[in-house]
């Protein structure tokens, strides 16, 4: 590939990514050096746990006791009691027999999928699944059949035609990260059972937020015991870094022996592990964290509607407002930035061409007043009433 040419083409299409250097004066704000503070709508720190006092204390204690790193992989000398405790807590949260930690959600997906399927097998994947799922499929070398987003009729059609006799894996997310909508989990589970496939559910954006104790959407739908594997990240609502998969004990023993991104990677740092352990405990002891978030989400959506936004705002804390072209999305993000709001323009290849959008995630770092004021501005900049001149 001609690198100069590639960069020029990305720039021309409005798809060149640059790394913004931001200061983080507190949890809900970011600023570009020397500029005004912006409200941060692009963080996945939904419950505000990254700065929760309990996580800070637990992480600091583990840091001073065990140092900054685990020193090696889990299968070598890097396995700590903290890892075992966190895995037990996550297994209990997800109502599964066991769990296994990974360095990140990306590493989890590119490790789990090739462990389960290979060249003679087949994967059925929702078109909007996260890139890490697609990269896992590619590494696996299995035949890949993508179905239209949340379209169980098409999934069944593909299963009828391509299930074959070897291993088959269905992969979905329970809450889609770019559209903010839910997977029809009960239907997918029924199909998985009818066609005798394994099912991997990615709960990256749902863990900590839905269901009893924030166990996730699978648990909320009472389906935890009917899926083969459920994975999620520790980097979003849980406020840290790392990831996990939860499953039956035998499946976890299998992954310990087969998932290369687990075997050949350094264990999570003890302090990170301790913070996640505190985060999981908080899900049970501070249910008000979730109540506060859903109240804020309500305020934000209602204010967008009051401002004249007519789009369906979906069922979750992730609210995408589709703009269309990449350049239009970048310009909209710029206008919002000038008005004190930081929301990222999500562009191809993350989302399909022509559906570039601004994606707003609501977190507990933002107050109800900040959210309603921001929503009024967003509505006016993105085609709400004010912009159409009817106000
Ligand atoms: C964020 C995300 C991941 C990756 O998790 P990291 O811990 O950030 O690597 C995987 N799947 C989905 C659906 C995600 O949104």
Distance CA 379, CA 182 (A): 24
Q: Where are the domains of the chain?
A: 9-40+287-382, 53-285
Residue range 35-45, pLDDT digits in tens: 999 999 999 99
Cα–Cα nearest to 346, from 367, 330, 369: 330
261 lines ligand 1 (CB under 6 A): no
Residues belonging to the active site: 44, 130, 173, 177, 202, 205, 236
Q: What percent of the chain has pLDDT over 70?
A: 98
Cα–Cα nearest to 262, from 111, 374, 146: 111
pTM: 0.95
174 lines ligand 1 (CB under 6 A): no
The Å distance, Cα 380 to ligand 1 centre, comes to 31
pLDDT value at position 203?
Answer: 98
The CA–CA distances, whole Å, from 196 to 107, 165, 191, 312, 349 equal 26, 10, 8, 35, 32
Q: Which CATH number fits domain 53-285: 3.40.640.10, 3.40.50.360, 1.20.1070.10, 3.90.800.10?
A: 3.40.640.10
Burial degree of 25 (CB within 10 A; 0-12, 13-18, 19+): exposed
Residue range 184-205, pLDDT digits in tens: 999 999 999 999 999 999 999 9
pLDDT value at position 301?
Answer: 98
202 lines ligand 1 (CB under 6 A): yes
- Judge if the upstream peptide bond of residue 349 is cis by omega within 30 degrees of 0: yes
Q: 122-126 and 168-173: which strand pairing?
A: parallel
pLDDT value at position 231?
Answer: 98
Cα–Cα nearest to 196, from 223, 174, 167: 167
pLDDT value at position 384?
Answer: 62
Mean pLDDT across 381-385: 75
Query: Domain spanning 9-40+287-382: which CATH class is it, in words?
Result: alpha beta
Distance CA 318, CA 327 (A): 22
205 lines ligand 1 (CB under 6 A): yes
């Amino acid at each position: 590939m001609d690198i100069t040419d590639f960069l020029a083409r990305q720039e021309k299409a409005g798809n060149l990514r640059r790394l913004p250097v931001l200061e983080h004066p507190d949890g809900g704000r970011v600023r570009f050096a020397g500029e005004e503070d912006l409200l941060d709508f692009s963080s996945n720190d939904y419950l505000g746990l990254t700065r929760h006092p309990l996580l800070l204390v637990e992480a600091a204690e583990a840091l001073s006791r065990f140092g900054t790193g685990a020193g090696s992989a889990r299968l070598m000398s890097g396995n700590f009691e903290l890892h075992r405790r966190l895995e037990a807590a996550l297994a209990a949260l997800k109502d599964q027999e066991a769990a296994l930690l990974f360095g990140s959600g990306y590493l989890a997906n590119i490790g789990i999928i090739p462990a389960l399927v290979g060249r003679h097998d087949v994967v059925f994947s929702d078109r909007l699944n996260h890139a890490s799922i697609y990269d896992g499929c590619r590494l696996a070398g299995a035949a890949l059949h993508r179905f239209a987003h949340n379209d169980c009729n098409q999934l069944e059609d593909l299963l009828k035609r391509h299930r074959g006799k070897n291993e088959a894996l269905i992969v979905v997310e329970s809450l889609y990260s770019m559209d903010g909508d839910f997977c029809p989990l009960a239907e997918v589970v029924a199909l998985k059972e009818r066609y005798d496939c394994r099912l991997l559910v990615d709960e990256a954006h749902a863990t900590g937020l839905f269901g009893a104790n924030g166990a996730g959407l699978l648990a909320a739908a009472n389906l935890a015991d009917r899926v083969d594997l459920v994975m999620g990240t520790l980097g979003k609502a849980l406020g840290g870094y790392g990831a996990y998969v939860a499953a039956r004990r035998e499946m976890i023993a299998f992954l310990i022996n087969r998932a290369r991104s687990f075997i050949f990677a350094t264990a999570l740092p003890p302090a990170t592990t301790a913070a996640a352990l505190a985060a999981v405990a908080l899900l049970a002891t501070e249910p008000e964290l979730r109540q506060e978030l859903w109240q804020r989400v309500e305020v934000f959506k209602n204010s967008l509607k009051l401002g004249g936004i007519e789009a369906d705002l979906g069922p979750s804390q992730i609210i995408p407002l589709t703009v269309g072209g990449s350049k239009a999305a970048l310009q909209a993000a710029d206008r919002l930035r000038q008005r004190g709001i930081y929301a990222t323009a999500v562009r191809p290849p993350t989302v399909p061409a022509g559906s570039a959008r601004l994606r707003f995630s609501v977190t507990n770092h933002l107050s109800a007043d900040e959210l309603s004021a921001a929503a009024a501005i967003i509505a006016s900049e993105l085609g709400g009433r004010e912009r159409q001149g009817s106000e």
